[in-house]
Chains A and B, each alone.
Chain A
Amino acid sequence: MTQLSLRAQLASALGRSAATLSRMTGRGDGSVIGGRVGLMLEPDLLRKLARDRKLALVSATNGKTTTTRLITSALLELGEVATNAFGANMPAGHVSALSTHKNAPYGVLEVDEKYLPEVLDTTGAGVVCLMNLSRDQMDRAAEIWLLAQKWRNALSGKPTHVIANCDDPLVTWGASTATKVTWVAGGQRWKEDSWSCPECGGPLERKDADWACRECTFHRPEPQWVLDDDAVIDPRGQRWLIDIQLPGLANRSNAAMALAVADAFGLSVERAMPRLREVTSVAGRYTTVERDGRQARLLLSKNPAGWLEAFDVSDPNLPIILSVNAQGPDGRDTSWLWDVDYRILRGRPVFVTGERRLDLALRLEVADVPFALCASFSEALAMQPPGRVDVIANYTAFQQIRSEFGRAV
């Protein structure tokens, strides 16, 4: 942007150079290091880069990267958009995204759930999109009730327009201190973290999508947008078919959220929907890689709620390869495997690999799901008959598979 001080311009430029170096030396995509360099030279850089832009922040446990991508795609209809497309969702990543697109009038930033209060405060973003909260990598992530409380504090008294999924009670509670909220009935498949009222701890009564506390007045707000299987109903009651290329109900929910965000930017569904259709894969998710006549479709899932969504997308007639690691980004604790109901895989050929395959193997044995244990993804792929196979992997396991295929996906 033109208003940057000399110091901020320099910080921004040096950050971009560091990012380029990082890419050239093959160390990464550069979006974190570049931002770190910039922030070191000018701690207030994010605030300065955000000034005078129309920003949307996107946060949730699952679907952040995909929804960010969908919103970005929609807003391109209005003009240039700065975005952290590679999922570098902390302030360094935001600095990097905004520096790279200095003149973009719009910005769509994926934000780590814990960082949302800080990033909202710093950027003064006009729109915040909140989708879902569920247990995730508990050894390092904040506990989710606490997280929702911090969202409440951050949104309270701000003019920010919040677009929130009212089918998730915890998200609803987290968003409900905001001055202006557009509620989207975006669905909630994983309900194990919302049996009690976030407001008073009482039991939540659930009937279909509706929910209300039995002990206090907290209840599901009336949605303005409603996801209805393969369509979304807008606030004017008009029904739109969500015929996007990304598979599964979770992605249709992400699309419904994206359309509501686009609407907050003054962009109609009519203009936004074709843009959503242009998105075919997001940082390798949902792409198919091929080797020796085997086509493997890659699904990323990082926590119990994510596995439910991946099972929904997966074709029950295909064999399936599961790969689990427990490196830092995955969470070093594999306890969550016991929250996933694997019985749905009974009857399918199942192949288990990854650095923590023995954890998964025992989990499947206890669930009475037969499987073959494979030392590597290559070995698991080679065991398949020619044709299609689905792959579900958690974060670093997913990245390892992508690297093996030259990240060309």
Chain B
Amino acid sequence: MPSDSALRIVWIYPDLLSTYGDQGNVLVLEHRAQRRGIETETVHVRSSDPVPETGDVYLIGGGEDRPQILAAERLRRDGGLQRAVTRGASLLAVCAGYQIMGSTFGGEEGQPVDGIGLLDLASARGPARAVGELVAEVDAALGLPTLTGFENHMGVTRLGPGVKPLSRTVKGVGNGDGFEGCYAGHVVGTYLHGPALARNPALADLLLSWRVGELAPLDDTRYEQLRQERLSAVLAQ
């Protein structure tokens, strides 16, 4: 039985946006919370169901063009995510999910499609597909180590004054202008798809700490081994 005190993790629309191992972010958040003795309750919200407003950490993942358009329509109609973020919930929006948070994004034929306007950004279809490992230095204000992950998208994202770039790219494309991702309040958007939090546990902890405060340190040997192996392999290329 879920208790009232459990940390509520809400995975939005896995039936539409769960193409690239997006479940990994859910699993990493659960795992890191539980190892610190924080009870968790995870809700998978299908696109035919309302998005609960009382969650703590929300996740939305990547997907193909058609499901992305459907997801944007349904989120706009539903309004639950917007209300949850207004209440201070954390949100990690990945790839297609990241684009949906803005005012507009590119559809199947590159046509502009309305986003939900939760973040001050606009996306469009870029000239070429960005596929590969990405390395980026995170905005010093967030105090996070180097960002590492994999991107696979055709989007170009322009940030407005209402959000800050999450990081400056060292390798890879990201937003398409030398920056990757963005943040505002308790919301983080990124092109690093799927298990971005497995490669960046400090980002997972940031999302958790926004809801539960300071976190006890963990033994992150496995995470560190993977990070170091990936960073050295990618930077050596």
B46 interface contact, C-beta 8 A: yes
User: A329-344 CB contact bits vs B (8 Å, 1 = yes)?
Assistant: 0001111111100000
Residue of A nearest to B66 (CB): A145
| Beta-carbon contacts under 8 Å, B1-53 to A | 14-16, 18-24, 27-28, 31, 46-48
Q: Which of A201, A332, A337, A366 contacts B70 (CB 8 A)?
A: A201
- A362/B198 in contact, CB under 8 A: yes
* B22 / chain A contacts, CB cutoff of 8 Å: 338
B195 interface contact, C-beta 8 A: yes
A51 interface contact, C-beta 8 A: no
Which among A38-46, A135-143, A293-301, A385-393 touches the partner chain? Answer: A135-143
- A138/B20 in contact, CB under 8 A: yes
* A339 / chain B contacts, CB cutoff of 8 Å: 18, 21, 23
- B64/A145 in contact, CB under 8 A: yes
* B16 / chain A contacts, CB cutoff of 8 Å: 195-196, 201
| Beta-carbon contacts under 8 Å, A153-210 to B | 192, 195-196, 201-203
State the CA gap A202–B19 with chains docked (Å): 18
A216 interface contact, C-beta 8 A: no
- A367/B131 in contact, CB under 8 A: no
- A196/B47 in contact, CB under 8 A: yes
B165 interface contact, C-beta 8 A: no
Once A201-B67, A335-B150 are accepted as A-B contacts, the answer to whether A359 and B226 lie under 8 Å apart by CB is yes
- A138/B152 in contact, CB under 8 A: yes
* B198 / chain A contacts, CB cutoff of 8 Å: 338, 362-363, 366
State the CA gap A281–B131 with chains docked (Å): 35
A146 interface contact, C-beta 8 A: yes
* A358 / chain B contacts, CB cutoff of 8 Å: 222, 225-226, 229
- A203/B226 in contact, CB under 8 A: no
Q: How many A-B pairs with Cβ below 8 Å?
A: 93
Q: Which of A201, A332, A361 contacts B222 (CB 8 A)?
A: A361
B155 interface contact, C-beta 8 A: no
Residue of B nearest to A194 (CB): B15
- A365/B222 in contact, CB under 8 A: yes
| Beta-carbon contacts under 8 Å, A313-370 to B | 332-339, 358-359, 361-363, 365-367
- A195/B70 in contact, CB under 8 A: no
- A362/B194 in contact, CB under 8 A: no
User: B109-120 CB contact bits vs A (8 Å, 1 = yes)?
Assistant: 000000000000
State the CA gap A201–B67 with chains docked (Å): 7
Count of chain A residues near B, Cβ 8 A? 31
Q: Which of B27, B132, B226 contacts A361 (CB 8 A)?
A: B226
- B64/A143 in contact, CB under 8 A: yes
State the CA gap A358–B46 with chains docked (Å): 32
* B65 / chain A contacts, CB cutoff of 8 Å: 143, 146
B193 interface contact, C-beta 8 A: yes
Majority DSSP secondary structure for residues of B touching A: mixed
Q: Which of A140, A143, A195, A334 contacts B15 (CB 8 A)?
A: A195
A402 interface contact, C-beta 8 A: no
State the CA gap A203–B14 with chains docked (Å): 12
- A139/B131 in contact, CB under 8 A: yes
A336 CB, min distance to chain B CBs, angstroms: 6
Most central of A138, A143, A359, A361 by chain B CB within 10 Å: A138
- A366/B150 in contact, CB under 8 A: no
State the CA gap A333–B195 with chains docked (Å): 11
* A332 / chain B contacts, CB cutoff of 8 Å: 132-133, 150
* B48 / chain A contacts, CB cutoff of 8 Å: 202-203, 214
- B46/A195 in contact, CB under 8 A: yes
State the CA gap A339–B14 with chains docked (Å): 11
State the CA gap A363–B28 with chains docked (Å): 9
* B152 / chain A contacts, CB cutoff of 8 Å: 138-139, 333
* A365 / chain B contacts, CB cutoff of 8 Å: 222
* A135 / chain B contacts, CB cutoff of 8 Å: 19-20
User: A109-150 CB contact bits vs B (8 Å, 1 = yes)?
Assistant: 000000000000000000000000001001110011110000
State the CA gap A375–B111 with chains docked (Å): 49
B66 CB, min distance to chain A CBs, angstroms: 6
State the CA gap A337–B67 with chains docked (Å): 22
- A335/B21 in contact, CB under 8 A: yes
State the CA gap A145–B24 with chains docked (Å): 22
Once A333-B152, A338-B21 are accepted as A-B contacts, the answer to whether A146 and B46 lie under 8 Å apart by CB is no
B193 CB, min distance to chain A CBs, angstroms: 6
- A366/B225 in contact, CB under 8 A: no
Q: Which of A138, A196, A363 contacts B67 (CB 8 A)?
A: A196
Q: Which of A202, A335, A359 contacts B193 (CB 8 A)?
A: A335
Residue of A nearest to B73 (CB): A201
Residue of A nearest to B198 (CB): A362
- B24/A335 in contact, CB under 8 A: yes
| Beta-carbon contacts under 8 Å, B139-157 to A | 150, 152
State the CA gap A145–B108 with chains docked (Å): 12
B13 CB, min distance to chain A CBs, angstroms: 9
Q: Which residues of B does A touch, CB under 8 Å?
A: 14-16, 18-24, 27-28, 31, 46-48, 64-67, 70, 131-133, 150, 152, 193-195, 198, 222-223, 225-226, 229
11 A-B Cβ contacts within 8 A?
A138-B20, A145-B66, A192-B18, A195-B16, A334-B150, A335-B150, A338-B22, A358-B222, A358-B226, A362-B222, A363-B198
8 closest Cβ pairs, A-B complex: A338-B24, A335-B194, A335-B21, A195-B15, A338-B21, A203-B48, A143-B64, A201-B70
Given contacts A195-B16, A201-B70, A338-B195, 20 further A-B contacts (CB under 8 A): A135-B19, A138-B20, A139-B131, A145-B67, A146-B64, A192-B18, A202-B48, A203-B47, A332-B132, A332-B150, A333-B152, A335-B20, A335-B24, A336-B21, A338-B23, A338-B198, A339-B18, A361-B225, A362-B222, A366-B198
